[in-house]
Structure 1
């Protein structure tokens, strides 16, 4: 109990620092966000505490519309309508975001669990087991790999396959289909390598990863051609 109070006190102390030191320096920004928001990007990532979307993208409040859940999963439309589906619809149809990013990460506990959804360790987590079934197609792509034989490289590959699968699921959502058909939306998959502090961009066509630098260089070339 004391430990819980200590960690809660730490959070409250952080709030106090925000109110007295951080907010005054950005008061104008927060005042501009008081009555509306206009984020550019819907950022879908894992609930894992090691991921800080605003930190890795160096964005300010108001720039990202963030959806987090176990395994950065996007159920196919109609499969499990709820928080994720409604957030996607609102972000794309109402807020008119220009981008949707699905970001997986290294050493993902959800991917470890996905390797064997019948494992006894999930018996006490029936909701998690049911939720992860939305990623079973990514598990199938790993073939006959047994959970006990999986190493870090396998978990990483599964995490990447899962991001690609969730991008495919995104394309079943009516709001996304409509925005894509009108050329108003871009989808992109990322993999966050936590210990190396590196983001890799997943290429849906080749199913391989690319460095941020190579993608930025290509985007720069495309922008110049369009001028």
Structure 2
């Protein structure tokens, strides 16, 4: 905890001063251009991998970067309500769904029932990925590394498909009012791959791609 306190002191005494004019502009409202939906994993830092500053990203994070299908429910729908808010209240221009390599959430899909005894809500959350688990097993069999890699990719595509069930998003994409992207971040290399809708596969983001 002491490290966190020292970090907070450094922010107040040094880092904030460096960006004081920016925070002054942000004091009354936010106007982010991008909704970033990522995993809660501590190794995935949205502003770091997108090179963005305060006020640019509206961030949603959960276990395994899952986007549930849209529904109006009587329980507490944190991810769903945050997406609603970003699209309808913040006038977001871009949506990025970002998964990553060695995802603990995706790996946990293959845990035994005993491992979920103390985390029943996590199990319930991951139950949404049961069809993906079945598909990954069909493709990879008992190859754990391949199975995890496929699960992470299929999960991203599934989240994209679910995102388009949210009211207004499909229409906004068709009208080019919102751009939707799925990224796959490889932690050990820093590489980021983007899903190609037409080719239905992931391709490395490059300078040439950015210029198109």
Both proteins in one fold, TM over 0.5: yes
Matched, 1:92 2:87: yes
Residues 98 and 184, structure 2, Cα contact 8 Å, conserved in 1: yes
Match of 1:179 in 2: 172
8 Å contact kept, 1:41–1:97: yes
| Alpha-carbon distance in 1 for matches of 2:126, 2:151 | 13
Instruction: Return the TM-score normalized by structure 2.
Output: 0.91
Deviation of residue 139 (structure 1)?
1.7
- 1:168 paired residue number: 161
Q: Is 1:199 matched up with 2:192?
A: yes
Task: Measure, in 2, the Cα distance between the counterparts of 1:58 and 1:87.
Answer: 23
TM-score in terms of structure 1 length: 0.86
Structure 1 runs of 4+ aligned residues shifted over 6 Å read none
Cα distance in structure 1, aligned partners of 2:149 and 2:136: 11
Residue of 204, 208, 211 corresponding to 2:201 = 208
Matched, 1:217 2:208: yes
Distance 2:36 2:198 in 1: 21
Residue aligning to 2:34: 41
- Corresponding residue of 2:113: 119
Structure 2: gaps of 5 or more residues: none
How do 1:72-91 and structure 2 match up within 5 A?
Answer: 72-78=65-71, 82-91=77-86
Residue of 93, 109, 121 corresponding to 2:104 = 109
Matched-pair contact (CA < 8 Å) for 1:92–1:179:
no
Q: Unaligned 5+ residue runs, structure 1?
A: 1-7, 222-227
Give the Cα–Cα distance (whole angstroms) in 2 for the partners of residues 127 and 146 of structure 1: 27
Q: CA RMSD in A?
A: 1.9
Q: Distance in 2 between matches of 1:198 and 1:218?
A: 14
Does structure 2 conserve the Cα–Cα contact (< 8 Å) formed by 1:41 and 1:99? yes
String of CA shifts for 1:11-68, please: whole Å, max 9, x gaps. Answer: 1110000000101111000111100111111000000011111001110011100000
